[in-house]
Amino acid sequence: MISFYNITKIYPPHTVAVKDVSFQVQEKEFVSIAGRSGAGKTTLLKLLLAQEQSTRGQIFFDGQDISQIKKKDLPWLRKRLGTVFQDYKLLASKTVYENMVYVMEIISQTKRHILKDVPQVLEIVGLTERANNFPAQLSGGELQRAAIGRALIHRPDIILADEPTGNLDPYHTRDVIQLLLKINQMGTTVILATHNKEIINRLGKRVITLEEGKVIRDEDPGRFIL
């Protein structure tokens, strides 16, 4: 489904974020990308989202080279992905409910579907009571859950989660991971970037470990070893 071939990303002038990274992700797989802060985890997700362009190498998504994707094809790619950003990236001028509706409307979902699915997802992420609040009125944990809800509302093929538990207490962390596992069991591919050792070890899923931009380990099942 996803293939990285010798991907290198250099930020000018000479900062190497990712170097010669190659791996593949199969459909319905749950892959964790582990590594210290600055190891290149977020850069890999940004490259997959075509938020950044690689300096060298190719990335294929369903047979299409997205390292050379045209601007007009970006919506096609991004509608198939659901991303949980490290800094949430919720629309500040819209409520939690509207943030989810917005994504549904982008993919031209009917009003009937929107009215049915959004309350369900709000229930799943535990934000029914906060549906009409704006992001500025939510706590860190609530923002994180709103971002997860928005990422999965349109049933994407792949969920990209960049440190989705970074601002959560252990109780909510466990809930979020359970949620990601459940989404994966329902057939959605999940790519989780985290430096949380405990989460990775408890998952018992494939782990790609990065160090200074290079893949130093790719094991299934894997553990957090650095």
Which residue's CB is nearer to other proteins, number 78 or number 217? Answer: 78
- Selected binder of other proteins within 1, 16, 69, 77 (CB under 8 A): 77
Q: What is the smallest separation between the CB atom of 71 and other proteins, expressed in angstroms? A: 8
Options 12, 14, 70, 108; binder of other proteins; rule CB under 8 A: 108
**Closest to 161 (Cα-Cα) out of 206, 191, 125, 200:** 191
Determine if 155 is a binding residue for other proteins (CB under 8 A).
Answer: no
69 binds other proteins (CB under 8 A): no
What is the rounded CA–CA span in Å between residue 155 and residue 89?
A: 19
The reply to whether 83 sits near other proteins by the rule CB under 8 A is: yes
Please, which residue, 1 or 114, has the CB nearer to other proteins? 114
* Cis preceding linkage at 164, omega within 30: no
Q: Which helix (H) or strand (E) holds 119?
A: helix 111-124
Integer Cα distance of 137 and 66 in angstroms? 37
Which residues fall within 8 angstroms of residue 78, CB to CB, at 6 or more apart?
A: 49, 50
Note whether 49 binds other proteins by CB under 8 A.
yes
Q: What angle do CA 159, 49, 40 make, to 5 degrees?
A: 90
50 or 207: whose CB is closer to other proteins?
A: 50
Q: How far is the CB of 91 from other proteins (least distance, A)?
A: 5
- Tell me which residues touch other proteins (CB under 8 A): 49, 51, 74-79, 81, 83, 85, 89-93, 102-103, 105-108, 110, 150
